[in-house]
Structure 1
Amino acid sequence: MSTAFTIREVPDEVARRLKVRAAEAGQSLQAYLLGLVTREAAEPTLAEMAARAERYAAREVSTEDILAAIDEGRAGR
């Protein structure tokens, strides 16, 4: 299912620039804006990255895990 968005009160200069960029990319304004929104949504926020880092930092890492990671790194050279 998809959702439609409406953005009100877009300044004329902003709308003009977006239309020009869409045309330069060979896209409709709708396709161009969908690409922008999709890329933005795919990027994690700082809060999401911090939470992910905290989860990784809270893990128990054994000596065997460290040695395995070193061996993988050496094998990849």
Structure 2
Amino acid sequence: MSPNLLVRSVPADTHAALVRRAASEGKSLQEYVLGLLQASADKPTMAEVMAEIESGLKATPNPALNTEEIVATIRAVRDA
């Protein structure tokens, strides 16, 4: 059985907006909010991205990358 999550004290305007958006996508409120939660959980936080970068730098202390390649790598990890 999957765990359940209960969110209390949702402001009425927030609830109404979520209901409207769910309906516009042909989903139940539960399906819509679950999708939002999954998308949020799948995207790494900045702290997780930085930890992954630091781990990589420890494994390869002097990477042979230029600034553009480093920025591209950070963006790729962040957007994954």
Same fold (TM over 0.5): yes
Structure with the greater relative contact order (CA < 8 A, sep ≥ 6): 1 or 2?
2
**Runs of 4+ deviating beyond 3 Å:** none
The letter for the 2-side match of 1:7 is V
Alpha-carbon RMSD across the aligned residues, in angstroms, is 2.0
1:54 matched to 2:54? The reply is yes
Identical residues among aligned pairs (%): 38
**Correspondence for 2:17:** 17
Q: Which has the larger radius of gyration?
A: 1
TM-score relative to the length of structure 1: 0.75
**Correspondence for 1:5:** 5
CA distance in 1, matches of 2:52, 2:34: 27
TM-score relative to the length of structure 2: 0.72
Following superposition, the deviation at residue 61 of structure 1 comes to 7.1
> What is the number of residues matched between the two proteins?
64
Q: State how 1:62-73 maps to structure 2 within 5 Å.
A: none
CA distance in 2, matches of 1:49, 1:16: 34
**Correspondence for 1:34:** 34
Name stretches of at least 5 consecutive residues in structure 2 with no aligned partner: 66-80
